């Protein structure tokens, strides 16, 4: 078994000690159902031909068609995609969505491609996987370095292949092509609802709570701004190049304005169109993780907190907005030190939840206002946060193990419904 997937399965093994499920269920969940690797030839703007490696994995479809994002990143591999599909399986079960887990990706640095090349690559990827996806089979969505435009290209290409308009084949599309209001902010908004529910119960009032956010992309930047407007003191943020730290707190709307305008992460305060630098320290991503703050929000890539740096983490609470930012070995170390980790399969599940809402709207042809989308999202995230908290308390386990237990019980019911050894042998 691959290294990332093996590490992910350690969380499953731990949770299996606290549930009574059929042996067939545990066996099924250790292996992805189907994994596809494709080559995508692309004619570049200079006339040369490049071939890119693409992947799509459907991990488990016991609860319904599989669901999961597509990422464009240099680190994409089959190992990574299978692990992400594994997490999506449990994430969908945690939120009680009628989906299984999937994931996809292409190995490349999208910043090196022109918009024309990126479109050709995206359409070529859909050509290669068209028989592997579909509204009732597997529904892709945006992930790292993919966005509404990329999803629009995917939907359009699939519709060309099928010779009919098929909006429900992907989610995270532009609104004009059948996308849902609230989808672009859903991952951050879902995480915010979890934090708003959890932190007051932990005795953390906004004005007295310091926060560091690693990753200032779509999810990280939005969660930072939501927390800022709610009164939390966001003292540090970072992107792939490094971070900024200001103990007095950062003006996140100003930081976002400069980032979006100049692609630079700067500690500034803006009044109208005039922005001035404020006193701050330039730090690395590694230093941000080790800051003495109340709340740490990893919102970048996986494997950021490992056995090598877990003993230097000072935050009281960690909310995983990224997928798999903490390794299983680091998990144990953090738990022993009393650091509470709110797991990714709950915290960042807002994205797939609103993707489900989008899929439902596409299939019904009836679209909801933003207020309804956010109200439904808040209800889902709050209910499952309470469910997982109750399981953790009753079983005296970590919140991560509780989340896996919660998901396993739902997956067990779905797999048993099709017949297992106990049914056939009794």
The reply to whether domains 32-177 and 180-426 share a CATH topology is: yes
> Is 108:132 a contact under the CB 8 Å cutoff?
no
* Statement: the pTM of the whole predicted model exceeds 0.85: yes
Annotated domain spans of the chain: 32-177, 180-426
Q: Would you mind telling me the total number of residues written for the chain in this entry?
A: 426
> Is 320:342 a contact under the CB 8 Å cutoff?
yes
pLDDT in tens, 270-304: 887 788 888 888 999 999 999 999 999 999 988 89
Q: Record the tokens describing residue 366, joined without a space.
A: 């009836």
**Buried b or exposed e, range 244-269, using 16+ CB within 10 angstroms:** bbbeeebbbebbbbbbeeeeebbbbe
Cα–Cα distance, 125 to 122 (Å, whole number): 5
Which alpha helices (H) appear in 168-283, and where do they start and end? 186-201, 218-229, 252-262
Average pLDDT, the chain: 93
| Residue entry with tokens 């059929």 | 22
> Is 106:54 a contact under the CB 8 Å cutoff?
yes
Catalytic residue among 14, 91, 103, 233: 103
CATH topology of domain 32-177: Rossmann fold (3.40.50)
Q: What is the pLDDT of residue 2?
A: 52
Please check the confidence at residue 1 and state whether its pLDDT lies above 50: no
> Is 27:421 a contact under the CB 8 Å cutoff?
no
Please check the confidence at residue 5 and state whether its pLDDT lies above 80: no
| Residue entry with tokens 């400069």 | 258
- Which has more confidence, 426 or 92? 92
Q: What is the pLDDT of residue 371?
A: 97
pLDDT in tens, 353-365: 999 999 999 999 9
Strand order in the sheet with 210-214: 281-283, 242-245, 233-239, 210-214, 295-298, 317-319, 340-342
Q: Record the tokens describing residue 166, joined without a space.
A: 């098929």
Q: What is the mean pLDDT of residues 52-57?
A: 98
Cα–Cα distance, 139 to 152 (Å, whole number): 13
R_g of the chain computed on alpha carbons: 21
**Of 280, 273, 270, 274, whose CA–CA distance to 238 is shortest?**
280
H or E stretch covering 102: strand 100-107
Q: What is the mean pLDDT of residues 42-65?
A: 97
> Is 250:227 a contact under the CB 8 Å cutoff?
no
Q: What is the mean pLDDT of residues 180-199?
A: 96
Residue 53 binned pLDDT confidence (cut-offs 50, 70, 90): very high
Please check the confidence at residue 120 and state whether its pLDDT lies above 80: yes
User: What CATH code would you report for 180-426?
Assistant: 3.40.50.720
Cα–Cα distance, 397 to 403 (Å, whole number): 10
pLDDT in tens, 21-48: 888 888 888 889 999 999 999 999 999 9
Q: Record the tokens describing residue 145, joined without a space.
A: 């370095």
Q: What is the pLDDT of residue 67?
A: 97
- Which has more confidence, 8 or 109? 109
Q: 10-14, 56-60, 294-298, 395-399: lowest mean pLDDT where?
A: 10-14
Tell me, yes or no, if 103 is annotated catalytic. yes
The packing angle between helices 350-364 and 78-94, to 10°, is: 80
Please check the confidence at residue 85 and state whether its pLDDT lies above 90: yes
- What Cα–Cα distance (Å) separates residue 142 from each residue in 70, 177, 278, 287, 357? 6, 15, 34, 29, 15
Cα–Cα distance, 29 to 112 (Å, whole number): 37
Q: What is the mean pLDDT of residues 261-267?
A: 83
pLDDT in tens, 221-263: 999 999 999 999 999 999 988 999 999 999 999 999 888 888 8
pLDDT in tens, 128-186: 999 999 999 999 999 989 999 999 999 999 999 999 999 999 999 999 999 999 999 99
Q: Record the tokens describing residue 235, joined without a space.
A: 């003292």
Q: What is the mean pLDDT of residues 311-326?
A: 94
């Amino acid at each position: 078994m691959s290294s990332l997937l093996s590490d992910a399965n350690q969380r499953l093994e731990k949770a299996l000690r606290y549930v009574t499920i059929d042996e067939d269920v545990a066996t099924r969940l250790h292996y992805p159902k189907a994994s596809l690797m494709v080559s995508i030839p692309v004619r570049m703007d200079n006339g040369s031909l490049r071939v890119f490696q693409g992947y799509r994995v459907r991990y488990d479809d016991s609860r319904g068609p599989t669901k999961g994002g597509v990422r464009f990143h240099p680190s994409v591999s089959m190992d990574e995609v299978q692990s992400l599909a594994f997490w999506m399986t449990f994430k969908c079960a945690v939120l009680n969505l009628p989906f299984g887990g999937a994931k996809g990706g292409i190995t490349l640095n999208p910043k090196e491609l022109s918009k024309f090349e990126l479109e050709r690559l995206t359409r070529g990827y859909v050509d290669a996987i068209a028989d592997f996806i579909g509204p009732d089979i597997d529904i892709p969505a945006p992930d790292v370095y993919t966005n509404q435009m990329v999803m629009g290209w995917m939907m359009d290409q699939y519709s060309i292949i099928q010779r009919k308009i098929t909006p429900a084949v992907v989610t995270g599309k532009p609104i004009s092509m059948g996308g849902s209001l609230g989808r672009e902010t859903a991952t951050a908004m879902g995480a915010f609802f979890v934090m708003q529910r959890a932190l007051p119960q932990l005795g953390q009032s906004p004005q007295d709570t310091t926060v560091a956010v690693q990753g200032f992309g779509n999810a990280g930047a939005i969660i930072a701004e939501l927390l800022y407007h709610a009164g939390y003191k966001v003292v540090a943020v970072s992107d792939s190049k490094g971070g900024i730290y200001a103990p007095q707190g950062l003006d996140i709307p100003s930081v976002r304005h400069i980032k979006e305008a100049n692609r630079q992460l700067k500690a500034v305060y803006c009044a109208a169109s005039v922005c001035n630098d404020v006193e701050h320290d330039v730090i690395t991503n590694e230093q941000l993780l080790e800051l003495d703050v109340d709340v740490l929000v990893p919102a970048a890539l996986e494997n950021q907190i490992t056995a090598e740096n877990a003993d230097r983490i000072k935050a009281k609470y960690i909310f995983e907005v990224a997928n798999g930012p903490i390794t299983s070995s680091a998990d144990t170390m953090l738990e022993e030190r009393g650091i509470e980790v709110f797991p990714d399969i709950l915290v960042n599940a807002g994205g797939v939840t609103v993707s489900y809402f989008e899929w439902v709207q596409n299939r019904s042809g009836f679209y909801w206002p933003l207020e309804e989308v956010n109200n439904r999202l808040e209800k889902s995230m709050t209910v499952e946060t309470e469910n997982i908290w109750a399981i953790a308390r009753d079983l005296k386990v970590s919140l991560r193990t509780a989340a896996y237990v919660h998901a396993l019980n739902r997956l067990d019911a779905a797999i048993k419904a099709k017949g297992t050894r106990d049914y056939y042998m009794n």
